[in-house]
Structure 1
Amino acid sequence: MKEGQASCYSCVNENCFINKHLHLEKMAQYVSKKQSVACKKSGQFITEGAAMQGLYFICSGKVKTVKTGINGREQIVRLTKNGDIIGFRGFGTGRKYLIGAYALEDTLLCHFSNETMLNLLQHIPEFTYNLMLFYADELNKSENNIRKIAHMNVRERVVDLLLYIHRKFGQINGLIDIELSRKEIADFAGTTEEQAIRVISSLKKEVLIKTSGKRIGILNISELRSEIMEHKYIIS
């Protein structure tokens, strides 16, 4: 990883949580203290269990966050892109990161230290209130996802994942704009790599999806949606 400095006030990323609050008084004194961190593809910038060093905001790129599960296996718990926040689950409640984080492509991160974030939250009420709403929304998504996954079979979980990344990252030239290995798909869907490969192969034969290397394109979104509609809960 390389550290540098990029100005928040020249950032064109409208989805960034920080960028949305630059109009507030006193924000300038806090954003001037952040560090820009460049992370190469596959690079790890947060280690699960490491001392909390603050929050990361994605300026550009894509990131997966992981958590160690049964038998030491890493499970993907979140996929993120421009504007998303990384490391927030342990912030303010503990001294260690509860997740690990890896760049899925060359990624530029904005890092705010613990001290900077705590001072910001204590002195800018509107920012604090909006961050509280963000936490509430994330908790609701997590609870819905737990209920849904408990009732899904392997095929439904893989289909649900494909629809999720389609909504989150969109398609370019007929392919979802993110590269995920079959193992990463399995890790996020809570299944084995072999089962994920079988489901993807089956979906291809049914002409519901297509593949090109690690990228997948959805060909019949309505048909895939119909497979999981009975579960009602859809990852957003």
Structure 2
Amino acid sequence: MKCNCGDRGQNCIEMVPIFSNLTKDEMLEIAMITSEKELDKGDTIYSAGFLTDSLYVIHKGRVKIVRLNESGKEQIIRVLGPGQFIGELAIFNREPASDSAIAIEKTIMCKIDGQDIKSLMARFPSIAFKILEELSQRLQKAEALVEDISLSSVEKRVAKSILQMDTEDIVKLQMSKGDWASHLGMSQETLSRKLTAFQDQGLIELVGHRGIRIIDREGLEDIQ
């Protein structure tokens, strides 16, 4: 359904860095051409192998981007939250999607048709530059993930991931442990064993189902 220029549609636009250089009136204009999409946990936004022609801006909730290997094992490429966007590759490439986007909790998104985005980029080149900047950053992160999975030990991957989650001493997981394990390229059982080992070593304390208290930050940093 159309956002009807309401607060949600405009807020959705204001949250996104690619539109940060636009005026309020220009953002309102973009909100006019957005439509709202609500998803429950587990709903698919788009699937690998199918064409998608829209840009999706996350207003509330979180979405995981996944790929499946030949054996059907899921690899999480990234998890995105409010203010971030997906579907940008369809703007530049008419090939079928190579990954799938799935809501990992109740999610509200603003959808902008691909042709509308192209028209906006022609009028406001800053949008195109911001999208390219985001794509570059995502490519760097994807390359770093591939390198970690290929060259780093399981212990190093888990420790590094914990340290990257937050600068505070208490980390609250923003995904299930199964999804976290998939993102790190390991089984959930392996992840659970390593977390227990870290706790036994006095490096962390497991708090509830998704909480991790960092006890020895330097110890985590020293893991090879």
TM-score range, shorter chain: 0.7 to 0.9
Cα 1:131–1:60 change in 2 (3 A) is same
1:222 aligned to 2:209?
no
Matches within 5 A, 1:101-180: 101-166=101-166, 174-180=170-176
Alignment match, 1:33: 33
Residues 4 and 37, structure 1, Cα contact 8 Å, conserved in 2: no
Q: Distance in 1 between matches of 2:79 and 2:149?
A: 17
Instruction: Give yes or no for contact 1:176–1:216 (8 Å, CA) kept in 2.
Output: yes
Structure 2 unmatched ranges of 5 or more = none
The count of residues paired between Structure 1 and Structure 2 equals: 221
TM-score after normalising by structure 2: 0.84
Correspondence 1:62 to 2:62: yes
Q: Is the 8 A contact 2:56 2:86 kept in 1?
A: yes
* TM superposition shift of 1:149: 3.0
> Matches of residues 49-88 of structure 1 in structure 2 within 5 Å?
49-88=49-88
> What amino acid does structure 1 have at the position aligned with 2:191?
A
Runs of 5+ unmatched residues, structure 1: 229-236
Q: Structure 2 CA distance, aligned partners of 1:55 and 1:138? A: 16
Matched residue SS, 1:150? helix
Q: Which amino acid aligns with 1:166?
A: D
Mapped partners of 2:64, 2:209: distance in 1: 15
Determine the C-alpha separation between the residues in 2 that align with 1:15 and 1:140: 23
Aligned pairs (5 A) from 1:204-223: 204-220=199-215, 221-223=217-219
Structure 1 counterpart of 2:97? 97
Residue 34 of structure 1: how far off its partner (Å): 0.8
Q: State the identity %.
A: 20
Separation in structure 2 between the aligned mates of residue 117 and residue 99 of structure 1, nearest angstrom: 21
Report if the CA contact (8 A) 2:10-2:27 is conserved: no
Structure-2 separation of matches of 1:13 and 1:227: 41
Distance 2:7 2:21 in 1: 14
Q: Given that residues 66 and 77 in structure 1 are in contact (C-alpha distance below 8 angstroms), is that contact kept between their aligned partners in structure 2? A: yes
- State how far apart, in whole Å, the 2-side matches of 1:209 and 1:139 are: 31
Q: Partners in 2 of 1:55 and 1:114 — Cα distance?
A: 6
1:175 Cα deviation from its structure 2 partner: 4.4
Amino acid at match of 1:52: T
* Contact 1:47–1:97, Cα closer than 8 Å, also in 2: yes
CA distance in 2, matches of 1:33, 1:49: 27
Aligned to 2:182: 187
CA deviations 1:36-61 (Å, max 9, x no partner) are: 21212222222222221311111121
Q: CA RMSD in A?
A: 2.7
Q: CA deviation at 1:24?
A: 7.3
**CA gap 1:185/1:130 in 2 versus in 1, 3 angstroms:** closer
| Distance in 1 (alpha carbons) for counterparts of 2:101 and 2:83 | 15
